[in-house]
Amino acid sequence: MNDLDSHLDGIIAGDPHAFSLWVAGVEPRLRGRLRSFAAHVDTEAVMQETLLRIWQTAGRFEPDGKPDGLLRLAMRIARHLALDEVRKKRPDRVTAAMLEENAIDNREDGSLEIDEHIRACLAKLPPKPLAAINARIHGGWRRDDDLADRVGMTLNTFFQNVSRARAALAECLRGLGVNLGGAR
Amino acid sequence: MNERDRRRLIEAAVSARRERNLDGVILPHPAWADLPEADRERIFEETRLQRRIESAIDPRRLSATGRAVLERITGAR
């Protein structure tokens, strides 16, 4: 049994803490699975819908004995949700990559060493971009106008500062040999 | 759409905030729907980076996506 499967009993029992540990472990791979849909589907909405459905149905989940059973189920749900959207709106744009059942994007590096680099790069940001991206980091699921208010910025200025912060952070990380993408 | 509006919509769609319809289904961000395909690819990449930053800072290693879902299931929102 691997680390992610070790949270299964807690999730099936309805323990949000166990679910949070599982979500933290699966999110990058689940998001990566949706890359081929990015031009046609809001993958953030699909991610959240998929995770909610996993939580709602986990009590009926029956492991098949293979590793990462719940992650594989999540990937199937995410793929079906995204494919349904594409088929509804642009059926002519369904690609082989979308149909691939086992496509996994392993580019994501979740190492603690990279966490350290991210924190170091954040500390180098100028005050306003730092304030804006910190607001997004700590409350990114809240309304942007509320976040902007909290840091004393107009919404447009808030967006500009978050974008600048992320671009500077990506550049700083590249200087440390870490490429997590983002605008140049 | 001018460049400034385009950048604003991209940044808005990077947010993890998503509304739900009356059936409880999570909806696409309105800004995402207003942008062309190339910009939607950009949103995906920027979101991926943003979530990685968020998880690096969070004590539970949860991004805003994870925290949004956890808030929903624990009834905090």
Q: Look at residue A1 in the predicted model and tell me its pLDDT.
A: 45
Q: What is the pLDDT of residues A79-104, one digit of tens each?
A: 999 999 999 988 888 888 888 876 65
Cβ(A88)–Cβ(A29) below 8 Å? no
> What does the pLDDT average to over B47-54?
96
pLDDT exceeds 90 at position B61? yes
A179 phi and psi angles, rounded to 5 deg: -110, 105
Task: Inspect the interface and report whether the beta carbons of A48 and B57 lie closer than 8 Å.
Answer: no
Distance CA A139, CA A141 (A): 6
Q: Look at residue A76 in the predicted model and tell me its pLDDT.
A: 94
CA distance B68 to chain A (A): 6
Residues (pLDDT < 50) of chain A are 1
Q: Look at residue A38 in the predicted model and tell me its pLDDT.
A: 96
Task: Report in angstroms the alpha-carbon separations of B17 from A33, A64, A67, A156.
Answer: 21, 34, 32, 17
pLDDT exceeds 70 at position B36? yes
Distance CA B68, CA A67 (A): 27
Chain A residue numbers with beta carbons less than 8 Å from the beta carbon of B48 are 28, 31-32, 108, 180-181
Model pTM score: 0.92
**Minimum-distance CB partner of A42 among B11, B29, B41:** B29
Segment 46-75 of chain B within 8 Å of chain A by CB:
46-58, 60-74
Cβ(A24)–Cβ(B66) below 8 Å? yes
User: Taking all residues of chain A, what is their mean pLDDT, rounded to a whole number?
Assistant: 90
The 8-class DSSP code of residue B20 comes to: B
Q: What is the pLDDT of residues A44-55, one digit of tens each?
A: 999 999 999 999
**Minimum-distance CB partner of A16 among B28, B32, B74:** B74
Q: Look at residue B33 in the predicted model and tell me its pLDDT.
A: 93
